[in-house]
Amino acid sequence: MRSKLPVILVSSMALLAVACATPVTRGHIHEPEAIQAIKPGATKEEVQQLLGSPSSESSFGLVTWYYISSVKEVRSITAPKVVEQNVTEVAFNNAGVVSGVKNYTLADGKQIETVKRITPTEGQQLGFFEQIMGNLGRFNKEGSGTSRKAGSPPVVGR
């Protein structure tokens, strides 16, 4: 029994630490009643009075406002996990009148795996000897704190 006691204590402490979850809400406060009040034909001003400023706007095409909210569960040991997400899309026509409202939830989202490869940049990659030879002729004038390449004129008037 004595040898099992440390294992039981460590296990119970780990479970207790993982069990404490704190919800963290970010972004726009999701208000279903206010969103349902937005009907096609409403103006931008009316939408802004109901929902406030958008979280994001479309960069091209017709004007579209996005109201984004999410709730993450933060635990002491594990990485934060999104447990609720709501995106409301309010589309406007050229006259600035609502043409459509769509709602998206966490179930509508898609998991995208990021690529871990490194894209090489164009340009010259200097080898060891090229770096050494490139530094020949560079020096600091005593007290100037500036460096110059061989063949460049000295700084006068300092």
pLDDT of residue 144: 55
| DSSP per position, 106-148 | GGG----PPP---PPPSS----HHHHHHHHTT-EEPTTT--EE
Q: Of the ranges 3-12, 40-49, 105-114, 133-142, which one carries the lowest mean pLDDT score?
A: 133-142
As a whole number of angstroms, the distance between CA 85 and CA 72 comes to: 9
Residue 52 pLDDT greater than 80, yes or no: yes
pLDDT of residue 124: 72
Residue 138 pLDDT greater than 80, yes or no: no
Residue 140 pLDDT greater than 80, yes or no: no
What confidence tier does 61 reach under pLDDT thresholds 50, 70, 90?
Answer: confident
**Which domains does the chain possess?**
21-108 (3.30.1450.10)
* Residues 22 and 74 sit within 8 Å (Cβ to Cβ): yes
Residue 79 pLDDT greater than 90, yes or no: no
Q: Which residue, chain included where needed, has tokens 């990485």? A: 79
pLDDT of residue 148: 53
Q: Which has more confidence, 142 or 158? A: 142
Per the prediction, the chain carries an average pLDDT of 80
- Helix, strand or coil, per DSSP, at residue 3: coil
pLDDT of residue 146: 54
* Residues 92 and 118 sit within 8 Å (Cβ to Cβ): no
pLDDT of residue 87: 93
pLDDT digits (tens, 9 = 90+) for 108-131: 888 888 888 887 777 777 778 877
Model-level pTM? 0.58
